[in-house]
Structures are given as C-alpha cells and as structure tokens.
C-alpha cells in the first residue's frame, strides 16, 4: 500500500477479512474504538497482522501498528478508555521510560477478540539500551535486574532495541539484537537449560540459527525469565523449518495483503515444553520505518 491510503474503515475491513480466513470472528466493538483513537497515525504507519500456533492464542487474531514519537500511545489509550487503570506498576512504565530513556517511536497491538493489548517502545536506531539502565526505571519488573548477569553472559545485556509492554498479560518483552553466536545451537540449548526450559527440537534449532534477534519475557510476579523467543525475517515463511500448522499455512496462501513485503516468524518454547510459532504479515509496510531499520541492523 502507498502512503496516505490507510484509514480506520479500510484497516477494519482488512482485519475482518484476514481474521475470517482463520475462522476468527472480528468483534467490532473491540476493534473500531482502537482504529478510531489512532486514526491520524494509520496513513503513515507500518501495519501488521499476526497469528500464532499455540493453544493460548487459539481463536485470536492480532493487528499492530506503529505510532510516531509525538503521540503518547498509553495516554491515548487512557483518554479513549481503551484500557482501565488498576494500580498495577505496568501502568506507569511508558511514562517512566519516556523520562529515563531516549525514545524513537511506539507501536500498539490489539486482538480482534481481546481488544487493546500491548505497547512497544522503540529506542533510537544504533543507540541500544542496556539492562542496567532500564532496571533503574522504578516500575520495571525486578526480574530484569535479577537476570542482568544471565543476559551479560550471552552478550545481550547492552543490546536492547525495544521493549514490549503487555497490559493484558501483565508481562514485558525485552528485544535484543542478536549476533550469530547467540543463535547458534549450542548457545540456544545452554540458554534454555539455564532457564529450566525444555531443550528445543532440531527443527527449532535450525530455525533459530536464521534469527536476527531474540526477546525475553519477564513479569512482575516472578524473578525468572519466563521465555526466550527468536525472530526471523523471511520473504517465504513456508520455506522455513517451522511447524506453522494448517491454519497458518492456509492464511499465508490466501491472505491478499502484503504479498510483496517481508514476513516475520517468531519461535519459542513454553514452560510446558510446547514449541510454537507466530507469523507476522504486513498490510502496510514502510522501508524507512524504525521497525525495518532494526531488521537491517540485525541479521538480514
């Protein structure tokens, strides 16, 4: 799509159609208020659709879009009543990060069933944040500081590109630029063993070796790293050694949007040992976006 073409009605129609390819109903009362609240950013945003293969995401379809630095996405979500404060420290995180760190831009994620879910905070390209600096933010999960040595052992502690704040799940993702050594099979196995997770299959290890980045999930209720996930950029996800599943493969073959743009595939192992994948396809792509620059700066 070209700049200036995305509007709430058009994006909604595309979301509804794409979700329908997976048999997921689009709840208008959950989706329309979000698109309307951020109407002014849609024409120039990167807009992506995402589907996951694990049981927890069954029956859901997600959309995400970028937001420029001049618009505070959490303040907008509060103003438009997309989320309701509960007093949890996660609700202070965006404001505190803005005061503590240089911010390049943001992203917003919602589900067609679950409504408003997440905010991403992108740090300026070429200016990685560090775990030690982020851990000074008062409302950060204590698990971040607790595991600084873990991240340092794998060369990740000073390679943070962005964070993702999941208000629905009350978790936070820390995204790192990854060297080839970090995604090598022996390193992936070692990280999983140290976290107490099941060792990935050979299929997943082959997938991880193509990753340009990794991200860790932490929360406010534990001092452990909950999950490590791996990010691969590809033009054709069906060529990857990934168990995408019949629904996702059908979506890839029939989704009319983003045919000529890159795709993102993410892989992870749950605490229960389930390997799963997330597919991200782009409805509207921007080569000059901070999102694309992070890919170029990683392993393309």
What pLDDT does 224 receive? 95
What pLDDT does 299 receive? 42
The tens place of each residue's pLDDT in the chain, 300 residues long, gives 444 478 999 999 999 999 999 889 999 999 999 999 999 999 999 999 998 876 565 678 999 999 999 999 999 999 999 999 999 999 999 999 999 999 999 999 999 999 999 999 999 988 899 999 999 999 999 999 999 999 999 999 999 999 999 999 999 999 999 999 999 999 999 999 999 999 999 999 999 999 999 999 999 999 999 999 999 998 888 888 777 877 788 888 888 887 778 889 999 988 788 888 899 999 998 877 766 655 544 443
Of the candidates 107, 1, 111, the one whose C-alpha atom is nearest the C-alpha of residue 49 is: 111
What pLDDT does 296 receive? 43
How far from 199 is each of 38, 174, 202, 217, 255, CA to CA, in Å? Answer: 41, 21, 9, 17, 33
What pLDDT does 250 receive? 82
Per DSSP, helices labelled H in the chain are 8-21, 28-37, 73-79, 93-100, 131-134, 142-146, 148-153, 185-195, 202-208, 245-254, 290-297
What pLDDT does 261 receive? 83
What pLDDT does 292 receive? 62
What pLDDT does 239 receive? 84
What pLDDT does 300 receive? 38
Would you say 73 and 67 are in contact if contact means Cβ atoms under 8 Å apart?
Answer: yes
Rounded Cα distance between 101 and 98, Å, is: 6
Helix, strand, coil percentages for the chain (3-state, nearest 5): 35, 25, 40
């Amino acid at each position: 799509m070209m700049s200036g073409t995305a509007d709430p009605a058009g994006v909604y129609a595309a979301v509804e159609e794409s979700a329908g390819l997976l048999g997921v109903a689009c709840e208008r009362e959950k989706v329309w208020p979000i698109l309307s609240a951020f109407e002014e950013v849609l024409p120039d945003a990167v807009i992506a659709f995402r589907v996951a293969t694990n049981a927890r995401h069954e029956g859901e379809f997600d959309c995400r879009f970028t937001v420029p630095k001049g618009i505070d996405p959490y303040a907008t979500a509060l103003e438009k009543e997309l989320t309701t404060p509960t007093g949890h420290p996660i609700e202070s995180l965006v404001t505190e990060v803005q005061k503590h760190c240089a911010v390049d831009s943001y992203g917003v994620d919602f589900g067609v069933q679950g409504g408003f879910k997440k905010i991403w905070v992108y740090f300026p390209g070429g200016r990685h944040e560090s775990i030690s600096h982020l851990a000074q933010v008062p409302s950060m999960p204590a698990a971040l500081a607790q595991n600084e040595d873990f991240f340092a052992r794998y060369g990740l502690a000073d390679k943070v590109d962005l964070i993702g704040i999941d208000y629905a799940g009350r978790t936070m993702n820390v995204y790192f630029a990854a060297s080839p050594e970090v995604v090598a099979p022996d390193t992936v196995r070692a990280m999983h063993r140290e976290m107490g997770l099941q060792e990935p299959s050979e299929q997943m290890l082959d997938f991880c070796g193509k990753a340009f980045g990794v991200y860790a999930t932490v929360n406010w209720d534990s001092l452990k790293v909950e999950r490590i996930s791996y990010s691969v950029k590809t033009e054709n996800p069906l060529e990857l050694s990934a168990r995408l599943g019949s629904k996702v493969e059908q979506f890839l073959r029939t989704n009319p949007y983003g045919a000529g743009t890159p795709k993102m595939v993410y892989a992870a192992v749950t605490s229960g040992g389930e390997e799963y994948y997330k597919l991200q396809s782009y409805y509207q792509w921007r080569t000059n976006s901070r999102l694309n620059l992070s890919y170029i700066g990683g392993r393309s």
